[in-house]
Structure 1
Amino acid sequence: MVVIRLARGGSKKRPFYSLVATDSRNRRDGRFIERLGFYNPVAVEGSDQVRISLDRIKYWKDNGAELSSVVSRLVKEYSKKQTSGL
């Protein structure tokens, strides 16, 4: 089963997460199918904290992928911000 979840990167005490589509049996930071965006919880003012490819998220959801709880929250907030910004 394909799942969309966060893969941790960055250095110690400076986390950086990639939103990836991967097989649920793969390790958290292991092999993935496609990178769909990123989440930087320690971003400074003026830089992007979250960037998500909403069309690719929709594609994977239409093909049966499940979103993790954190990713679903991030997508919901990001899509709300994108629609209000237009």
Structure 2
Amino acid sequence: MLKIRLKKYGRKKRPSYRIVVIDSRKRRDGRPIEELGFYDPITNQITLDIESVNTYKNHGAQTSKVVESIYLKAIQIQA
């Protein structure tokens, strides 16, 4: 099953996340199928390819709770 979730990177005390599509059995920082966006919780910066997220969701990919909230915020910002 495919999951759309966060992949952590950055330095100590300054986390940043990439929003990725990955097999649910892979580890958190494993090699993703595709990178869909970026999230910085410190500056609250969101960059997300909404069309690609919709495509993967239509094909059965599940989103994590945090990614779902980021996705909804990105849709509101875009509208």
TM-score (norm 1): 0.89
For 2:72 and 2:39, the matched residues in 1 are separated by 13
- Greater strand fraction, Structure 1 or Structure 2: 2
State the 1:76 CA deviation: 0.3
* Alpha-carbon distance in 1 for matches of 2:51, 2:74: 13
How far 1:64 moved relative to its partner? 0.5
2:64 maps to amino acid: S
The alignment partner of 1:25 has SS state of coil
Residue type of the alignment partner of 1:72: E
- Deviation at 1:77? 0.8
Q: How far apart are the structure 2 equivalents of 1:50 and 1:77?
A: 9
**Given residue 75 of structure 1, which amino acid in structure 2 is its aligned partner?**
Y
Q: Which aligned segments of 4 or more residues in structure 1 are displaced greater than 2 angstroms?
A: none
User: What percent identity do the matched residue pairs reach?
Assistant: 43
Count of residue pairs the alignment pairs up: 79
Instruction: Give matches, 1:1-86, under 5 Å.
Output: 1-43=1-43, 49-83=45-79
CA RMSD of the aligned region, Å? 1.0
* Structure 2 unaligned spans of 5+: none
1:58: how far off?
0.5
